[in-house]
Amino acid sequence: MKTREMIVPRDLIRKFYPHPEPYGDGDYVVDLINGMYTDVFYREEGDFVTITNDNKLISYLKKNQLKSRDYFFRNGVYSLRIKEDIDNKNIEDWKPITPILVELEMPQEHKLPSEFMFCFYWIEVGRATIEGDMMILEVYEKDLIHMIDIGLAVDVIFESLKEI
């Protein structure tokens, strides 16, 4: 059966999982909002693709090409976006998880919103809040991002504050 490369819009993905085969058929395995599972590859353009021959999956993806999410900051694989209603499900799922907490003293003048989502490879791995002169970054999806990446992201965000 012939396979097709299909875009998997971020809004159709409910949950990401590390791929069980590091050099296998994708970067991640995802649970779609309709209950289907597939493996996906990250694309710099802001979405994911799957290579599949599953006719039901192909039909579903063709019918549901949603718009991309809007990001106010992106540097390589790190991105930030304003919290939306769609994020409430993740935030609710994260409540029982103890996050990795990073606190940063903020410069007097910055243009960051008071609450935003922290993304790694377009995946929401945490959220940040600004409280007074402090930014509190909470990272929940610890199996999808390594400590070194969190440290690099914090450095990149802090250095780029003047541009945001």
pLDDT of 134 higher than 80? yes
Region 138-164: mean pLDDT is 85
- Give per-residue pLDDT as tens, 6-62: 999 888 999 999 887 766 566 899 999 999 999 999 888 778 999 999 999 999 999
Which ranges constitute the DSSP H helices of the chain?
Answer: 55-63, 88-94, 147-160
CB 9, CB 30: distance < 8 Å: no
- Give per-residue pLDDT as tens, 20-35: 776 656 689 999 999 9
Single-letter amino acid code for the residue at 91 = I
* pTM of full prediction above 0.85: no
Closest by CA to 136, choosing from 107, 96, 164, 100, is: 100
